C-alpha cells in the first residue's frame, strides 16, 4: 500500500483528512510538529490513531525553530509589510522539511497537508517539499474534497466515528507558535471591526491590567539574543520569557490588512510580544554599531528577506546567500539594549556595545567637542557643486 505522511494538527480538517486519505488507498502516518502551539498533546495523538493513522510521529522542533529560523530572520530584520514578524511563515519550511525527513524514514511516497487553497501556507509547504524532494507526491485534501461547510465535515466525522476535539471551537482561525500568534476569520473578516477581546490569545485582558512600567536589559552576541538582565538564557527560554512578560503589557499586537501571495488582501491580527521587543532591540543595537552605508543597504535586504519568507522561498539560493551576507553584518552586533515596557508598547531607552561607533567627542555640543566645524564648509561646497552649476 502507498504510504503518505500527513502534517497533522489535531484539528477537524486533518482528522477528517486521515480517513479521506485512507479511502483514497493510502496508509496514513500522522506527523505532528511541535513548534510551541501547545496542541501536540497525548489527546491529539490518540485522536489521530482513532481516526485511522497507522502511526503517529511527534517531533519537538522548538529549539531548531529558534536557532535555525527565528534567529536568522531576526538578524536579517525581516518584517513583512512593516509589521508582521512572520511567526507562521517562518514555521512552515521547518515543518515541511521535517515532514520530508519523516517521509524518507518511513519510506513514504507522498506527503499531505491540511492547508486551504486560498492561503500562503499551502505554497510554503509545497515549495519546501518540492525543493527538498521533487519525487514526493503532494496531496492537499482540504483543497480537493467535496465538503461545503464545517457542519458537513462534522457530520462526515460523526458518521465515520472520527473523534473531534471536544474543546469548544474558536470562532477564529488561529495559528500559534513560540514566535507569535496569527488570528483571522470570524468577525475579523470585516476590516473595520475592532478585534474583540476573545480574538486575543496571549494578550487578552491587557486593557484592564496596569502593570508597572519597567525596563529590561537584553544582551546580544553577534546579533543573537543571549541573555536577560545579565543572565544567560537559551533561545527558547528567552523567547518564552519575553512572551510572558510582554503579554502582561499587551505588547506586540498588530492589526493589519496584508497582501497574500495568492493575490488577495486579508485582515489578520497578530500577537508577538517577544518578536516585537527583540526586533526593536536588535535594530537599535545595529544603529549603534553598523556604519551608515551598511545599515541603509541592510534595510533593503531586510525587506527582501521578509518577502522570501512570506512567499515560501526559504529553501532557495537567494535566502542562503542573504544569510551569508547578514551573518557578515552581525559580527559586531554585540552588547546590550535596555527596553522599557509600558502598556501596549515597548521602547528602547538605552544601548551599549564594545563595538559602538558612537563618539561623544564628535557628537557633543559641549566643551569636549573634537569636531572641526570649519571643515563643514568645504564639504558642503563640494557636495552642492553639481547642483550649483
- Is the sign of the CA dihedral 282, 283, 288, 290 positive or negative? positive
Alpha helices in 77-230 (DSSP H): 87-105, 121-132, 141-144, 150-159
Q: How many CB atoms lie within 10 A of CB 145?
A: 15
Tell me whether residue 190 is one of the annotated catalytic residues: no
Residues 6+ apart with CB under 8 A from 324: none
Nearer to ligand ARG (CB atom), residue 181 or residue 278: 181
Which of 13, 34, 98, 184: binder of ligand ARG (CB under 6 A)? Answer: 184
Please give the Cα distance from 22 to 376 (Å, whole number): 76
Query: E-strand spans in 222-306?
Result: 224-228, 231-232, 253-259, 265-271
Tell me whether residue 92 is one of the annotated catalytic residues: yes
Annotated catalytic residue, options 173, 287, 345, 356:
173
Q: How many CB atoms lie within 10 A of CB 271?
A: 28
Total binding residues toward ligand ARG, as defined by CB under 6 A: 10
Site for ligand ARG contains 286 (CB under 6 A): no
For the purposes of burial, counting CB atoms within 10 Å of the CB of 109, is it exposed (0-12), middle (13-18) or buried (19 or more)? Answer: middle
Hunting for cell 547578514 — which residue is that? 326
Hunting for cell 493510502 — which residue is that? 26
Buried b (16+ CB within 10 A) or exposed e, 229-239: eeeebebbebb
Site for ligand ARG contains 182 (CB under 6 A): yes
85 three-state secondary structure: coil
Please give the Cα distance from 371 to 84 (Å, whole number): 41
Residue 20: how many CA atoms within 13 Å on its side-chain side? 22
Q: Which range in 69-77, 171-179, 196-204, 319-327 contacts ligand ARG by CB under 6 A?
A: 171-179
Which of 173, 316, 345, 347: binder of ligand ARG (CB under 6 A)? Answer: 173
Site for ligand ARG contains 174 (CB under 6 A): yes
Site for ligand ARG contains 201 (CB under 6 A): no
Q: Which of residues 236-275 bind ligand ARG (CB under 6 A)?
A: 268
Q: Which range in 66-74, 177-185, 200-208, 213-221 contacts ligand ARG by CB under 6 A?
A: 177-185
Tell me whether residue 342 is one of the annotated catalytic residues: no
The answer to whether residues 175 and 119 touch, using CB atoms and an 8 Å cutoff, is: no
Annotated catalytic residue, options 13, 34, 175, 284:
13
Nearer to ligand ARG (CB atom), residue 257 or residue 318: 257
Nearer to ligand ARG (CB atom), residue 89 or residue 337: 89
Nearer to ligand ARG (CB atom), residue 41 or residue 173: 173
Nearer to ligand ARG (CB atom), residue 173 or residue 303: 173
Which of 51, 76, 89, 206: binder of ligand ARG (CB under 6 A)? Answer: 89
Q: Which range in 129-137, 174-182, 233-241, 322-330 contacts ligand ARG by CB under 6 A?
A: 174-182
Quote the DSSP letter at residue 332.
T
The answer to whether residues 21 and 6 touch, using CB atoms and an 8 Å cutoff, is: yes
Q: Which of residues 325-344 bind ligand ARG (CB under 6 A)?
A: none
Nearer to ligand ARG (CB atom), residue 87 or residue 112: 87
CB of 119 to ligand ARG, least distance (A): 6
Site for ligand ARG contains 175 (CB under 6 A): yes
Binding site for ligand ARG (CB under 6 A): 88-89, 120, 173-175, 182-184, 268
Catalytic residues: 13, 92, 121, 173
Amino acid at each position: 500500500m502507498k504510504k503518505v505522511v500527513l502534517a497533522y494538527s489535531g484539528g477537524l480538517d486533518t482528522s477528517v483528512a486521515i480517513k479521506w486519505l485512507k479511502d483514497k488507498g493510502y496508509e496514513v502516518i500522522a506527523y505532528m510538529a511541535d513548534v510551541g502551539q501547545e496542541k501536540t498533546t497525548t489527546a491529539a495523538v490518540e485522536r489521530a490513531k482513532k481516526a485511522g493513522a497507522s502511526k503517529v510521529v511527534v517531533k519537538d522542533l522548538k529549539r531548531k525553530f529558534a536557532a535555525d529560523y527565528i534567529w536568522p530572520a531576526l538578524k536579517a530584520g525581516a518584517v513583512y509589510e512593516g509589521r508582521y514578524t512572520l511567526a507562521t511563515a517562518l514555521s512552515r519550511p521547518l515543518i515541511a522539511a521535517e515532514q520530508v525527513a519523516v517521509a524518507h524514514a518511513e519510506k513514504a511516497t507522498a506527503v499531505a497537508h491540511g492547508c486551504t487553497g486560498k492561503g500562503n501556507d499551502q505554497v510554503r509547504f509545497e515549495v519546501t517539499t518540492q525543493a527538498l524532494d521533487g519525487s514526493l507526491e503532494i496531496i492537499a485534501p482540504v483543497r480537493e474534497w467535496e465538503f461545503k461547510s464545517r457542519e458537513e465535515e462534522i457530520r462526515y466525522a460523526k458518521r465515520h466515528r472520527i473523534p473531534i476535539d471536544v474543546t469548544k471551537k474558536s470562532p477564529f482561525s488561529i495559528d500559534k507558535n513560540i514566535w507569535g500568534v496569527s488570528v483571522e476569520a470570524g468577525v475579523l473578516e470585516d476590516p473595520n471591526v475592532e478585534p474583540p477581546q476573545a480574538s486575543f490569545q496571549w494578550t487578552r485582558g491587557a486593557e484592564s491590567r496596569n502593570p508597572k512600567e519597567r525596563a529590561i536589559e537584553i544582551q546580544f552576541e553577534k546579533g543573537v539574543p543571549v541573555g536577560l538582565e545579565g543572565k544567560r538564557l537559551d533561545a527558547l527560554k528567552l523567547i518564552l520569557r519575553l512572551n510572558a512578560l510582554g503579554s502582561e503589557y499587551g505588547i506586540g499586537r498588530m492589526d493589519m490588512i496584508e497582501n497574500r501571495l495568492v493575490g488577495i488582501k486579508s485582515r489578520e491580527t497578530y500577537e508577538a510580544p517577544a518578536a516585537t521587543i527583540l526586533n526593536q532591540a536588535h535594530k537599535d543595537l545595529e544603529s549603534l554599531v553598523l556604519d551608515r552605508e551598511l545599515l541603509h543597504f541592510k534595510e533593503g535586504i531586510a525587506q527582501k528577506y521578509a518577502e522570501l519568507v512570506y512567499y515560501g522561498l526559504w529553501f532557495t539560493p537567494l535566502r542562503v546567500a542573504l544569510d551569508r551576507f547578514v551573518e557578515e553584518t552581525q559580527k559586531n552586533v554585540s552588547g546590550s539594549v535596555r527596553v522599557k515596557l509600558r502598556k501596549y508598547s515597548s521602547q528602547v531607552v538605552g544601548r551599549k556595545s564594545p563595538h559602538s561607533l558612537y563618539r561623544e567627542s564628535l557628537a557633543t555640543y559641549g566643551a569636549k567637542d573634537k569636531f572641526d566645524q570649519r571643515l563643514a564648509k568645504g564639504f558642503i561646497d563640494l557636495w552642492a557643486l553639481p547642483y550649483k552649476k
